[in-house]
Structure 1
Amino acid sequence: MSLTPFDTAPQHGPRPLPLFLALLRSETATSPERRAAALAGLAAYQAARRPRSRRPMPVVARAGRAVLRDYGGAGRPVVFVPSLINPPLILDMPYRRSLLRWLSRQGVRPLLVDWGTPTPQDRAQDVAQHIEDMLVPLLRSIGEPAALAGYCLGGTLAMAAAAAVPVRGLALIAAPWRFSGFGPDAIERIGQLWDGAHETCDRLGLVPMEVLQASFWQLDPARTIAKYERFGRLDPASAAARSFVAMEDWANAGAPLTYAAGRQIFDDLFTADLPGRGRWRVAGAVADPATLPCPTVEFVSLTDRIVPAASAAGLPDRRELRLGHVGMMVGSSAKEALWRPLADWLAGLR
């Protein structure tokens, strides 16, 4: 899920969105100093140097527009499912913060789902069809039951897939399932945004990144502004500044959603909470975390402001962290707090 104020990929020169500027005006209405600091941070981010893009890892399977990328390693396969929102490379960040490359040296063979970029012709493909028509065929293409690991909304999809196809185990990382756990205020704000955007998205056949960004700003608008205030004070050559730029570039570069997937996320997941109420039907069955026929674990951050701990699935093996939604994946403490425990859990699977 994204917290980013730009509407174009970084290599094309990100530009602030009108919705972000409106948020900035609202959050800094009584503090011209904070507004100036946040704008200075935006300018510094736009001017920052970027590392050269890495070549994508090889494709070993395809299902529709989705592909499975192989990160090597000599162990048994583990399929990592990223969110439909933002690119999958949060799992493969630069500056030695790539979970997948690290795991490939720990006796694991990581395989990454890359959802590709939808077109208006894909408008009718909802979240359930992403699972049935792409994720499940990719899992079956491996030729043996793989372990599944899902991050953020990718964990929601991985949970449903684990109920539809045999897997060796399922690991959820900051994954929402009981969407009522976001709280009534956040759900109402997100619902109001969708009410104002769905007609335009219906005409486009896609849900543009701007709509997704703005919806998740509603979860923590103060943080969205404060992080740019802080960035403007950093030395541009510092490790902290480089990491910030890499993270914002990732958050800034997501593909749109199909209209049906966006509608299902906003209406069926957030508003109706079909998964949490045991009413979300995928691949002909209702996905239920209590009846999964495989070992499971979930990593839940008690300080996650994007996917609150109250929205987790409630699996028996629950590992609690105190890192942010993104920090638990790529922060300075991520290796000890998440990477190693995840690798140990995967090593214990049969």
Structure 2
Amino acid sequence: MTWASSESAWRHWKPGSPTSKANSPVPEAISALLPEIAALEARDGAGKFESALSREIARRMHRLADGVLAYRQHAVHRTLENPPAVWSEGNTRLLDYGATHRAARARGARAVLVVPSLINRWEVLDLTAEKSLLRGMAAQGLRPYLVDWGSLDDEERRFDTTAYVARLERALAFLAKRARRAPAVMGYCMGGTLTVALAARQPRRVAGLALLAAPWDFHADRTGHAFLVSTGPLLAQVADRLGELPVDILQTLFWSLDPWLAMKKFGRFLGMDQEGAGAREFVLLEDWLNDGAPLAGPVARECLVGWYGDNVPGSGKWVVGGRRIVPAKIKVPSLVMIPSGDRIVPPLSAAALADPEKGLKNVKRLDLPLGHIGMVVSSRARDLCWTPLIEWLQAIPSRARNGA
């Protein structure tokens, strides 16, 4: 839209246009270019700039289209075999990532309940054999159990956050019994927000709480979220009527955070060696981004209106199953990992959970020079995120069965 409107804008603002002296003045950026454009056309002939503008718009559009087509036609697909499920409820499963790793099956291996977001699926945590945080944890002697939320069934379309946290409580109880001691809990993005409520409600069953880019104070920094905040009430009505917030609407919300990202990334992809590792990882990551799940209607309303609109968690008013969730009352050992380049969860939002006064009480804060997705799959993720996370999880003091 921006590229296409450039031609119309030029016709409106160019010298001699019948509308150039209309109601709105010429923007300063355009005014600064007018003398240069006039000199160009005096030298090369009238209309040269307009023709060049049309060619550049077409070039950019073709490059974007070619990049998207190259991605669509790429032969790479995720081929990793998923681990066995050891527990299920509705369409939610618990996948045992330690089942095929000797180190993770060793006596005393720390069990970790891993909770991803309800929106994007979990595969980003297990993208390739080389870039799999979950397999990396298992190789280092932890035993991660991943929550696979699956797709919504008729009952789950009526879930609110209380229902999801209650499901996590039952998964945690199963895991505590299976592991014979309290597991650690790790939450990524929105999954981290849910695990804060889990730890508040089940402190004796949680040995430690690791939070990766988990949003909490939704008014700490609303830069880039204006579109989401302004459309929240309307989208909540859509979710009410449909029973869910569709994937395409969720993708539009993510797009609004950085409208130029698609143009940049598909242009960059077109310049890659299409048989190389970089192109392969781009395709797998893009497949993951485009394979999100719809959000249950009540959860969508809570998030769009209650979280982003009213900042219910950040203001200490979030109630889950009749209990107000107050981070300052949670005393389990906690790790808050904050990627400084995060555009999805503003760093200030996640940092609220490590605030000395209102945040988690027994907390370690770790700031990472990475992005929201880069913290788990980038070339620097292993050194900057995986290693300190794994070491922290390994160092958590043990608790007996059920946290006794």
TM-score range, shorter chain: 0.7 to 0.9
Q: State the alpha-carbon separation in 2 of the partners of residues 98 and 138 from structure 1.
A: 23
- Superposition map of 1:112-131 within 5 A: 112-131=146-165
| 1:145 shift after superposition | 1.4
Q: State the alpha-carbon separation in 2 of the partners of residues 80 and 41 from structure 1.
A: 34
User: Which residue does 2:393 correspond to in 1?
Assistant: 346
What residue ranges of structure 2 are gaps of 5+ in the alignment?
7-55, 99-103, 355-362, 398-404
User: Which residue does 1:267 correspond to in 2?
Assistant: 305
Q: State the alpha-carbon separation in 1 of the partners of residues 182 and 321 from structure 2.
A: 18
The one-letter code sitting in structure 2 at the alignment partner of 1:48 is: H
1:140 aligned residue (173, 176, 180): 173
Q: State the alpha-carbon separation in 2 of the partners of residues 163 and 27 from structure 1.
A: 49
2:207 aligned residue (160, 168, 171): 168
| 1:121 shift after superposition | 4.2
The one-letter code sitting in structure 2 at the alignment partner of 1:281 is: V
User: Which residue does 2:95 correspond to in 1?
Assistant: 69
Q: State the alpha-carbon separation in 1 of the partners of residues 309 and 221 from structure 2.
A: 10
Q: Does 1:153 align with 2:187?
A: no
Q: State the alpha-carbon separation in 1 of the partners of residues 244 and 3 from structure 2.
A: 29
Q: In the alignment, is the contact (CA less than 8 A) between 1:27 and 1:225 conserved in 2?
A: no
2:248 aligned residue (187, 210, 216): 210
1:26-47 deviation per Cα after TM superposition (whole angstroms, max 9, x unaligned)? 3674461333222221111101
| Closer/same/farther in 2, CA of residues 84 and 27 from structure 1, 3 Å limit | farther
Question: Which SS does the other structure have where 2:335 is aligned?
Answer: strand
1:217-264 deviation per Cα after TM superposition (whole angstroms, max 9, x unaligned)? 111112232111211211211111111101011111122111111111
Q: State the alpha-carbon separation in 2 of the partners of residues 164 and 28 from structure 1.
A: 53
More displaced stretch, 147-156 vs 174-183: 174-183
Q: State the alpha-carbon separation in 2 of the partners of residues 95 and 111 from structure 1.
A: 17
Q: Does 1:102 align with 2:136?
A: yes
Q: In the alignment, is the contact (CA less than 8 A) between 2:236 and 2:305 conserved in 1?
A: no
1:100-141 deviation per Cα after TM superposition (whole angstroms, max 9, x unaligned)? 111101010010001111134433211222112x11110011
1:37 aligned residue (46, 59, 63): 63
User: Which residue does 1:330 correspond to in 2?
Assistant: 377
| 1:196 shift after superposition | 4.1
1:36-70 deviation per Cα after TM superposition (whole angstroms, max 9, x unaligned)? 22222111110111235333211111233211110
More displaced stretch, 213-222 vs 188-197: 188-197
Q: How many residues align?
A: 324
More displaced stretch, 206-215 vs 219-228: 219-228
What residue ranges of structure 1 are gaps of 5+ in the alignment?
1-24
Question: Which SS does the other structure have where 1:162 is aligned?
Answer: helix
Q: In the alignment, is the contact (CA less than 8 A) between 1:121 and 1:205 conserved in 2?
A: no
Q: State the alpha-carbon separation in 2 of the partners of residues 29 and 243 from structure 1.
A: 34
Q: In the alignment, is the contact (CA less than 8 A) between 1:77 and 1:108 conserved in 2?
A: yes
| Closer/same/farther in 2, CA of residues 120 and 35 from structure 1, 3 Å limit | farther
More displaced stretch, 316-325 vs 219-228: 219-228
Larger Rg: 2
Q: In the alignment, is the contact (CA less than 8 A) between 1:28 and 1:35 conserved in 2?
A: no
- Superposition map of 1:162-241 within 5 A: 162-165=199-202, 166-183=205-222, 186-241=224-279
Question: Which SS does the other structure have where 1:157 is aligned?
Answer: helix
The one-letter code sitting in structure 1 at the alignment partner of 2:207 is: R
Q: State the alpha-carbon separation in 2 of the partners of residues 258 and 186 from structure 1.
A: 24
Question: Which SS does the other structure have where 2:186 is aligned?
Answer: strand
Question: Which SS does the other structure have where 1:271 is aligned?
Answer: coil
| Closer/same/farther in 2, CA of residues 151 and 326 from structure 1, 3 Å limit | same
User: Which residue does 2:29 correspond to in 1?
Assistant: none
| 1:348 shift after superposition | 0.7
More displaced stretch, 32-41 vs 231-240: 32-41
| 1:305 shift after superposition | 1.4
Question: Which SS does the other structure have where 1:294 is aligned?
Answer: coil
1:131-170 deviation per Cα after TM superposition (whole angstroms, max 9, x unaligned)? 12x1111001111311011111111111111111130000
Identity of aligned residues (%): 38
Tell me the C-alpha RMSD between the 2 structures. 1.7
1:81 aligned residue (115, 119, 124): 115
Q: State the alpha-carbon separation in 1 of the partners of residues 3 and 89 from structure 2.
A: 44
